[in-house]
């Protein structure tokens, strides 16, 4: 199946929902990204800073670049001038660094707080308690160059659909709770980023507003390391 036909079929599935498709192009060459671009795809996700920077430099300027992977603080400066949305903010230190680089670039950077919803200890993210502590404190007051636009989560890698659904549902519940309980200038909660190739249908049913899909669109990735 070609990139364009895969995109077409996912987009028709998402048509009746409010969910936006982020095409995850990590490890994939620019010609495949352009193939998606030609049929109208504008939002792309990458998980490595160097690769993101290299691709942004040469690809069309109206592409929205989403940083979806774990982000190291010392690398924020490379993406701060152009990144559209940082999905995986998992520490307060990282949020502060993003604020610092936003200030340098005179742009407010949109972020999602990553929540640890999976069973696996390897996945990054805040607990719901940690997020509430941050929102209840005055930490956000000084972070003038970040806008927290929502939450991001990754479900456990398992065939157990019930478990995946429960984990996604927990992210939706937290999102709604935060939305009703906290107000702050830096808090503009509209997005729940959840769902990848293997589980996006469940995520959409549980309220996802952004699915991050890679291999279903571009084919399996070959990692050489
Ligand atoms: C790679 C990746 C995806 C996409 O994974 P696929 O299974 O290829 O759809 C989504 N989210 C994150 C954070 C990723 O690193």
Instruction: Output the pLDDT for position 224.
Output: 58
pLDDT tens digits for 46-91? Answer: 999 999 999 999 999 999 999 999 999 999 999 999 999 999 999 9
CA dist., res. 171 & res. 114, Å (int): 10
Ligand 1 within 6 A of CB of 213: yes
In the structure, what pLDDT confidence band is assigned to residue 225 with cuts at 50, 70 and 90?
very low
Ligand 1 within 6 A of CB of 118: no
Beta strands in 78-203 (DSSP E): 85-89, 109-115, 146-153, 187-193
Closest to 68 measured CA to CA, from 13, 25, 4? 25
| Candidate of 214, 216, 218 to mutate for ligand 1, largest count of ligand atoms within 8 Å of Cβ | 214
Instruction: Output the pLDDT for position 123.
Output: 67
Helix (H, G, I), strand (E, B) or coil at 169: helix
Ligand 1 within 6 A of CB of 195: no
In the structure, what pLDDT confidence band is assigned to residue 120 with cuts at 50, 70 and 90?
confident
Ligand 1 within 6 A of CB of 27: no
Based on its alpha-carbon atoms, the radius of gyration of the chain, rounded to whole angstroms, reads 17
Distance from the alpha carbon of residue 68 to the mean position of ligand 1, in angstroms: 8
- Strand pairing partners for 147? 110
Largest Cα span, the chain: 51
Closest to 99 measured CA to CA, from 146, 148, 150? 146
Instruction: Give nearest CA residue, ligand 1 atom 6.
Output: 214
Contact between residue 206 and residue 162 where contact means Cβ atoms under 8 Å apart: no
CA dist., res. 116 & res. 174, Å (int): 12
| Candidate of 49, 212, 219, 221 to mutate for ligand 1, largest count of ligand atoms within 8 Å of Cβ | 212
Instruction: Output the pLDDT for position 122.
Output: 67
pLDDT tens digits for 163-182? Answer: 999 999 999 999 999 999 99
In the structure, what pLDDT confidence band is assigned to residue 92 with cuts at 50, 70 and 90?
very high
Across all residues in the chain, what is the average pLDDT?
95
Closest to 141 measured CA to CA, from 107, 83, 95? 95
Q: What is the dihedral of CA 122, 72, 127, 17, to 10 degrees?
A: -90
For residue 213, give the ligand 1 atom closest to its CA: 9
Residue found by looking up tokens 């603080």 in the block: 73
In this prediction, what percent of the chain has a pLDDT beyond 90? 93
Question: Residue 211 — φ and ψ, nearest 5°?
Answer: -105, 140
Asked if pLDDT for residue 3 goes beyond 80, the answer is yes
């Amino acid at each position: 199946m070609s990139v364009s036909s895969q995109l077409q079929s996912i987009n028709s599935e998402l048509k009746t929902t409010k969910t936006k498709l982020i095409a995850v192009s990590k490890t994939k060459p620019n010609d495949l990204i352009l193939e998606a671009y030609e049929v109208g795809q504008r939002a792309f996700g990458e998980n490595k800073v160097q690769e993101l920077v290299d691709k942004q430099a040469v690809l069309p300027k109206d592409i929205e670049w989403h940083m979806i992977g774990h982000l190291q603080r010392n690398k924020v400066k490379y993406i701060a001038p152009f990144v559209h949305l940082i999905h995986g903010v998992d520490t307060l230190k990282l949020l502060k660094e993003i604020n610092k680089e936003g200030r340098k670039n005179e742009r407010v950077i949109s972020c999602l707080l990553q929540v640890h919803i999976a069973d696996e200890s390897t996945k990054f993210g805040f607990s719901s308690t940690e997020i509430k502590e941050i929102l209840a404190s005055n930490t956000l007051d000084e972070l003038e160059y970040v806008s927290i636009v929502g939450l991001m989560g990754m479900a456990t890698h398992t065939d157990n659909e019930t478990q995946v659904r429960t984990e996604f549902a927990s992210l939706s519940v937290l999102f709604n709770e935060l939305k009703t309980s906290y107000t702050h200038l830096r808090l503009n909660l509209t997005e729940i980023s959840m769902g990848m190739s293997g589980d996006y249908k469940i995520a959409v049913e549980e309220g996802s507003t952004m699915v991050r899909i890679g291999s279903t669109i571009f084919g399996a990735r070959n990692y050489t390391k």
